[in-house]
Structure 1
Amino acid sequence: MVGIQDLRRPGLLALQTLAVAACYFAAGRLGLMRQLVVQGAVVTPIWPPTGVAVASLLIFGMRSLLGITLGVLLVVMSITTLQPAVIGTLVGNTAAPVCAYLMLRRVGFRTDLSRLRDGVALVFLAALTSMLISATAGVGLLVLLDKIDASSFWPVWLAWWVGDAMGVLIVTPILLLLRTARRPENLSRWTEASGLALIACALVPLAAYSSISLLFLVYPLLILAALRFQLAGSILCALFASTAATVAATDETGPFARLTQVEVMIKLQAFNGSMALTALLLSAVITEQRNTRRSVEQACQDLAEVLEHLTAGDTPRGRPSKGAEGVRHPPAGE
């Protein structure tokens, strides 16, 4: 029996490594479909692989590190040839998710994102702080190799950093949500979700492609989704709106028309970032308040049962009576 388990463990680890690498590579190819040119450097407004990497580490632990490294290597090989400089990109894109995972584990992060502190930790530790590593390593490497001028460092660095951070803010919560997703049994919830989806399908394209800047119309929809469906509703709404806005920005249509590449990048990333922050933090606050209310209601119900038993003169279940504790039974023979 021990021998069979020993054989299974390397097989499961290899399968897990290949699955993580495949997901990372697929997310990378998906992210490369939409690009912006900033100061002569090509950057992606949203880089989904960072979200895949952080989610893999949170779900599988450090066992997924090899799969992440392999995924980074496959993505790099798909867009350029293997060069010594690739090592810098490999190290930066692997170290950033690992740093995010270690910091989240240090602060007691919960993958269900049911507390405000979990949402804040994901935003400020995993997304904004850890992705400084990948952005600095990647853009610094471009400067050292004379791919971009030193004067272009900060604009390119900002675009790179925000793209990696957006991958964590949007993709990681969705993957963590899919891990614990349950099908709602109440038919009315399906009806409400379908109605909300129809409204989103009509409102989001209008906001993203209208020549008038109507991106602010997404926020009431985002708030409604968070109020009714918490993280599941808000993050899916944010993903849809972010995707539509990214497509419009890269096509330079709608509110992104007649803007320079830098202005497009700033406007798009400001919208995506504020929307992702709203979705995460608002849903975390609502979920935490609902859990607190359930705890208070349960405590009140337990207290009411105890008072009911005391009023009736009975002993509450599981609680010995005070009189019974004070009676000393005489030993046999007294």
Structure 2
Amino acid sequence: MDFISARWLRAISWVRDYCWSCASSKGVVSLANPNCNDATRWRRCRGCGVQASTMSDPRPATPEITFRRAVNAGGIVAIGVIYFALAKAGLALASVNPSATPIWPPTGIALAAVLLVGYRIWPVIFVAAAIVNATTAGSIATAIAIATGNTLEAIVGAYLINRWSGGRDTFSTPHSVATFAMICLVIATPISATIGMTSLAAAGYVAQSNFANAWVTWWLGDVAGALVVTPAVVLWASSQNHLSDRKDVLETAGVLGVAAIVGLIAFSPVIEQTRSRDPLGFLVILPMLWAALRRGPRDTATVALLLAGITIWGTLTGGGPFTTADRNVSSLLVLMFLISITVPSLLLSADVEVRKHGEERLRRAQIELERKVAERTQELELANAAKSRFLAMASHDLRQPLHALGLFIAQLRTPLKPAERTRTIELIDATRKEMDEMFNSLLDISRLDAGILVPTITEFPIARLLRKIETAFDQATREKGLHLRVRQSDAWVRSDAMLLERILFNLVSNAVRYTLQGGIIVGCRRRGDMLRIEVWDSGPGIPEDQKQNIFGEFFQLAPQDRHRYGSMGLGLAIVDRLRLLLNHQIDLVSRLGRGSRFAIMVPIAASRAASTEPVDLPHPAAFAVDGKVVLVIADAPMVQEGTGGLLGRWGYSVLTAASDATALTRLAERHQRPDLIISDYHLASGTTTGIRAIEQINAALGSSIPAILISGDTAPEPARDARDQGYILLHKPVDPMRLRAVMHELLMQQDSRRDHRPAS
């Protein structure tokens, strides 16, 4: 059994490492196969350059593979017959020696066969060459030697062409064509001539005085066969374009017809050969140029082969300018002529093809560039239209609360009862909050568009956000007569806590705004390794055809009873952009008249026993502010007066200034040192910044004073500059309670550092 298993393993190994193109096999399963160097299922054989399968024979259906399959079906015999027939015809023209002929097309057939079929075709070449030479002249030994030379000539030539000149693609570039010509001229063909003539001389079939002449004749015959026959056979056999277009068929037929006519005129024995007729031989350059410039390498090689046949036939029958008294000399002149027109024409055709392909690539690149430019232009036009719409909608929605503020302020200027005055102040505060929400929405959209929001992914309990939602919307839902239910969960999630909080706040805020009766439910459901956070409402619902539109900017559905001033329609647009930023899935289910359900999927993190929730800070009013000096820097007198008055009401000692120089002067006059600096980001009409002013004051006082920057600029630069310097940036309009909380937090941190500072 072990012996049988070993035999089966060897058989399988042989199949895996077998190259079906050149019939080579290492015989073992190994990734370091000397013949097939690719470790994947398909390998490229180093010997023949053919892509071969590592399995039995499932090769790709390329034109080359299709040709080889046709050869497998019986073409091998046909190749041998063609080789034999052409060899017999060539040897019939031998004059200097029965085995040395100037016309030897079998070299081209053999080289093309090895390039197309693979090295496994070598036995056919060897047998055909041996039979031809054995039945022509010499002995069995010399026939075997000559056949060996012919076979080695084809194998070595094909190997070097595969290795150095691109294999079947050798006629696609001028460099590879030149390499092909040099391989045939200098390396491959001398092998056959040298082995053949040496064996004949050793056997006494060639005189020493005739050796050089016979060797040159043999060599040039092989060179011409390789340079003229091989290109035509390889290009037609491996071409993927088989003249399917009528225009191509007509042009190919035209160039071949012109070549035949020119060849007959220049070399036909029917026309009397005179000195005035000799220059007509140069006319063959015309169809060669036509083919090279217009039809590509394949038709160029075909025209060269056609002209070679006509030229050889005409010269051998006494026509054309190459006819001499010595038949061998005439043949050699024909060979030199054919070589001199074929190689340059192939070089020219390859160069033209390279240029055509380059122009085609440039044309495609230009089309692609024009397409991208058109797309970009359209995007810019859409962006410009969206910007105009953005400004128009923002202007409209912001004017509503501004208009109401003007009316409320006008009411305050009139005599009002205490209850009416209190009610008007509450309305003014509600309007301010509405404007603050609108500006925050615009700020969020601006920051998302600028790409400056970078998520900070952490693990935290979802209960923290749920409690914030319950606290934030409890009063608003009570005022509208709605029921708010927030079902707690002990799950931990992985996300950005602040951004996820903004998503949930926007979803609940949207539900509160559009729900007229009933209630809102916020809860969580586990779905595998995801937590599904759901927001249910009993609002009017969303039409099916509007479910995608509601996530667009400035899109709003009109409920029966709109909010007093409405919103800007940015809440759900912000939700959609934030969930894309966090890579969280969101879905919507809604029924008209029944309500809607928004759900967002968040990854679940491992639960933790100890909570890491931050301890809630006491209310700002609980902190003592007596003796705290706050420096306010703003170049707008209205901002100085408003900020200074508010901070004074809170109990701070306030100094206001329009610049850092003025601030230093007032600090020196009062002999005070600020505990906190509040500065506008843009100062002196935008020529300097609050960061520079703070740095100047810190440098003058020799300390680092906590600072808050306030800016109405939503560009990414202020936020980045403030973050780099370690300052807090608040965007206008600033909620007073937000400002108060930040101030107290900074002052507490400063007091804590002072308490822990070692005594000097």
Measured in 1, the distance between the counterparts of 2:77 and 2:281 equals 39
Counterpart of 2:164 (choices 103, 107, 113) is: 107
Amino acid at match of 2:204: D
CA deviations 1:172-204 (Å, max 9, x no partner) are 111112223433343233333333333223211
CA contact (8 A) 2:228 2:304 kept: yes
Measured in 2, the distance between the counterparts of 1:94 and 1:20 equals 14
Q: Which has the higher helix share?
A: 1
Moved more, 121-130 or 170-179: 121-130
User: 1:172 maps to what in 2?
Assistant: 230
Seen in structure 2, the aligned counterparts of structure 1 residues 326 and 141 have a Cα distance that, compared at 3 Å, is farther
Counterpart of 1:228 (choices 290, 294, 300) is: 294
Amino acid at match of 1:271: F
Q: How far has the Cα of 1:229 moved from its partner?
A: 0.9
> What aligned pairs does 1:146-165 form with structure 2 within 5 A after superposition?
146-165=204-223
Measured in 1, the distance between the counterparts of 2:307 and 2:263 equals 6
Seen in structure 2, the aligned counterparts of structure 1 residues 85 and 196 have a Cα distance that, compared at 3 Å, is closer
CA contact (8 A) 1:208 1:215 kept: yes
User: 2:86 maps to what in 1?
Assistant: 27
Counterpart of 2:357 (choices 278, 291, 294) is: 291
Measured in 2, the distance between the counterparts of 1:68 and 1:327 equals 73
1:84 alignment partner, SS class: helix
Structure 2 unaligned regions, length at least 5: 1-10, 13-54, 60-68, 381-447, 457-494, 502-760
CA contact (8 A) 1:128 1:165 kept: no
Matched, 1:188 2:247: yes
User: 2:142 maps to what in 1?
Assistant: 85
Counterpart of 1:311 (choices 353, 357, 377) is: 377
Matched, 1:252 2:311: no
Seen in structure 2, the aligned counterparts of structure 1 residues 63 and 30 have a Cα distance that, compared at 3 Å, is same
User: 1:47 maps to what in 2?
Assistant: 104
CA contact (8 A) 1:51 1:168 kept: yes
Seen in structure 2, the aligned counterparts of structure 1 residues 131 and 192 have a Cα distance that, compared at 3 Å, is same
Measured in 2, the distance between the counterparts of 1:132 and 1:153 equals 14
Moved more, 224-233 or 88-97: 224-233
User: 1:317 maps to what in 2?
Assistant: none
User: 2:267 maps to what in 1?
Assistant: 208
CA contact (8 A) 1:204 1:218 kept: yes
2:340 alignment partner, SS class: helix
CA contact (8 A) 1:19 1:67 kept: no
Amino acid at match of 1:228: R
Matched, 1:59 2:124: no
User: 2:180 maps to what in 1?
Assistant: 122
Measured in 2, the distance between the counterparts of 1:130 and 1:109 equals 16
CA contact (8 A) 2:127 2:147 kept: no
1:313 alignment partner, SS class: helix
Seen in structure 2, the aligned counterparts of structure 1 residues 304 and 185 have a Cα distance that, compared at 3 Å, is same
Between the two proteins, what is the percent identity of the paired residues? Answer: 25
1:79 alignment partner, SS class: coil
TM-score normalised to structure 1 length: 0.84
Measured in 1, the distance between the counterparts of 2:453 and 2:111 equals 61
CA deviations 1:258-313 (Å, max 9, x no partner) are 43235313321221111221232121111111111112222222222222222222
CA contact (8 A) 2:264 2:310 kept: yes
Aligned residues: 322
Measured in 1, the distance between the counterparts of 2:202 and 2:183 equals 28
Q: How far has the Cα of 1:96 moved from its partner?
A: 0.9
Measured in 1, the distance between the counterparts of 2:350 and 2:79 equals 27
Larger radius of gyration: 2
User: 1:143 maps to what in 2?
Assistant: 201
User: 1:266 maps to what in 2?
Assistant: 332
Amino acid at match of 2:134: M
Matched, 1:95 2:161: no
Measured in 2, the distance between the counterparts of 1:36 and 1:27 equals 13
1:130 alignment partner, SS class: helix
CA deviations 1:126-166 (Å, max 9, x no partner) are 34421010011112222222222212222211111111111
TM-score normalised to structure 2 length: 0.39
Measured in 1, the distance between the counterparts of 2:184 and 2:449 equals 57
CA contact (8 A) 2:157 2:184 kept: yes
Measured in 2, the distance between the counterparts of 1:97 and 1:324 equals 67
Root mean square deviation, CA, Å: 3.1
CA contact (8 A) 1:54 1:98 kept: yes
2:95 alignment partner, SS class: strand
CA contact (8 A) 2:292 2:349 kept: yes
CA contact (8 A) 1:96 1:134 kept: yes
Measured in 2, the distance between the counterparts of 1:188 and 1:90 equals 44
Measured in 2, the distance between the counterparts of 1:111 and 1:327 equals 56
CA deviations 1:184-241 (Å, max 9, x no partner) are 3432333333333332232111111351312111112211121121122221211121
CA deviations 1:86-130 (Å, max 9, x no partner) are 222122111111111111122151414211122112211134421
Q: How far has the Cα of 1:16 moved from its partner?
A: 6.0
Seen in structure 2, the aligned counterparts of structure 1 residues 18 and 254 have a Cα distance that, compared at 3 Å, is closer
Q: How far has the Cα of 1:41 moved from its partner?
A: 4.8
CA contact (8 A) 2:288 2:304 kept: yes
Seen in structure 2, the aligned counterparts of structure 1 residues 218 and 170 have a Cα distance that, compared at 3 Å, is same
CA contact (8 A) 1:43 1:160 kept: yes
Seen in structure 2, the aligned counterparts of structure 1 residues 323 and 141 have a Cα distance that, compared at 3 Å, is farther
Q: Which has the higher strand share?
A: 2
CA contact (8 A) 1:27 1:52 kept: no
Amino acid at match of 1:208: F
CA contact (8 A) 1:20 1:71 kept: no
Measured in 2, the distance between the counterparts of 1:326 and 1:296 equals 38
Measured in 1, the distance between the counterparts of 2:195 and 2:285 equals 34
Seen in structure 2, the aligned counterparts of structure 1 residues 280 and 323 have a Cα distance that, compared at 3 Å, is farther
Seen in structure 2, the aligned counterparts of structure 1 residues 274 and 323 have a Cα distance that, compared at 3 Å, is farther
Measured in 1, the distance between the counterparts of 2:452 and 2:79 equals 63
User: 1:318 maps to what in 2?
Assistant: none
Matched, 1:281 2:347: yes
